[in-house]
Structure 1
């Protein structure tokens, strides 16, 4: 485990909501900077302290290795940033009480790095930059100051911990294969972008609840199909549950197909009119849907 400090004055809400950290690869002049390159050093279980607008507000636990991905669509476009960047998945935790920077500084000033410190002392303020590495002693002191206790090493690596180069693994047993059904991995983000962050059926844009639902099931897909963005439809929980259990499917025209197992009496308050449809299926989507339709009764 290593400790870091991240300045998120403009991006904390988006990154906290999405469960990630993101930094561009280069600036508009095609130059890289050290506080973006630090993203490359992050590893699973590292602790990153979240600073936002004068306060240390919490910490996040890194749950993946870095992978390359374009700027998140929810970010306000910054003309100083290159569109390409690095991301890690992260599990966010808020302190019971946010700590003012000046108050925290007095407790950790002797432990801050001499070079590339996240805080300047004249005046006391956050340094301009994104991600800074700090010492273990400094990290532990921050936890003590915030009355935060944690069991070190509690996050175990999972299938979603690492993304291999170019997002395509050579084998499903390779560490780092992303399961599209969980987490905030690169595959999920690509599916979100593909469907413009909206449920394909309802248009719901509450991304926290939307699910990248495989068309051809994971267990039946080969390595490439499992990470093919065309093998997924972004669905709200109700439609994902029905689709996953082959109680609904979709024609190539996008019109919904409802299983005979669903009767009007069985729906209760579950609204399903039979007029639902998807409007922007790709040819590749249709190929996967042909497989899906074979299982609907």
Structure 2
């Protein structure tokens, strides 16, 4: 079911619209949860987003893929967060909520409204808020936009994740604290090669789902993604990886599949069971299981919390 959202992002809007995404921290600075940041994980492909910037709704966005864990695009603020791929189109003319608040106000959510229902002005800390279809229509009926621009190219997640990884790889290459050998090991680890692959194969010689053991048919996949690792050691740690066949790697990397500590496969409710069956994986949760080591379990807990789509 398509959802509708409103984002208040004046300080970062130009960068995010140009880059085709939204980014938010995972939590408040004190560590507390924010329903507005949690909404980044609730948004899904095909949802529509109204972009509120400088007292106007200036763009309409279509969510291109699910949000994924990613550090802040601002190197001055290296906080962990969520990045949501979005295709944007300008609204002409930009809409002032203040001019339509009499009609829009009563349709706003009673809790977590993005703007003041009386004045039409944006609310601080109300980052991403869900709207009803009726509320979104009040705004969209007053503007024009190029629908074709919202289609955008496919493969949103691979492109967005590669953009983040490229930026971090450049930082690794420029790190004066690493020698050439260390830099090479970290760069190849990003692609599941080199020392990282050897370390993973020492612990996981075969795909846990399919049982395939031929190394030519397996991908060394990070459990805690390369882009989210806190240190070089995590990026090279064999316990932070699984050897997976390409189809299983895709599901795991994208958050449609995870594992419990006892080895039970966990399937995301956002994955169509029919599609899973067509892949020959319809019996995932009933397959034989093998418990993970404690070091692996720590990374899997991270994957279930920050990657797995619930």
User: TM-score, normalising length from structure 1?
Assistant: 0.54
CA distance in 1, matches of 2:79, 2:146: 37
1:144 to 133, 141, 144: 141
Unmatched tracts of structure 2, length 5 or more: 174-190, 194-215, 228-310
The corresponding residue for 1:11 is 12
Residue 228 (structure 1) shift: 7.3
Shift of the 54–135 alpha-carbon distance from structure 1 to 2, 3 Å rule, reads same
Question: Is 1:43–2:44 an aligned residue pair?
Answer: yes
1:195 to 170, 174, 177: 170
Shift of the 195–147 alpha-carbon distance from structure 1 to 2, 3 Å rule, reads same
Residue 121 (structure 1) shift: 3.4
CA distance in 2, matches of 1:110, 1:43: 26
More helix by share: 2
CA distance in 1, matches of 2:101, 2:118: 12
1:84 to 74, 80, 95: 80
1:96 to 92, 97, 110: 92
Structure 2 contact 101–119 (Cα < 8 Å) conserved: no
Residue 224 (structure 1) shift: 3.5
- DSSP 3-state at the match of 1:145: coil
Deviations 1:253-274 (A, max 9, x none): xxxxxxxxxxxxxxxxxxxxxx
Residue 148 (structure 1) shift: 4.5
Unmatched tracts of structure 1, length 5 or more: 162-177, 199-213, 230-297
- DSSP 3-state at the match of 1:58: strand
Question: Is 1:131–2:119 an aligned residue pair?
Answer: no
The corresponding residue for 1:58 is 59
The RMSD of aligned alpha carbons is: 3.5
CA distance in 1, matches of 2:17, 2:97: 20
Shift of the 197–7 alpha-carbon distance from structure 1 to 2, 3 Å rule, reads farther
CA distance in 1, matches of 2:155, 2:117: 42
Deviations 1:52-105 (A, max 9, x none): 11111011111011111111136x53xxxx811111111111112212231132
1:184 to 160, 171, 192: 160
- DSSP 3-state at the match of 1:120: coil
Structure 1 contact 3–135 (Cα < 8 Å) conserved: yes
Deviations 1:111-133 (A, max 9, x none): 21111111113443111220000
User: TM-score, normalising length from structure 2?
Assistant: 0.52
Alignment of 1:149-164 (within 5 A): 150=147, 158-161=154-157
1:120 to 98, 109, 116: 116
CA distance in 2, matches of 1:61, 1:193: 27
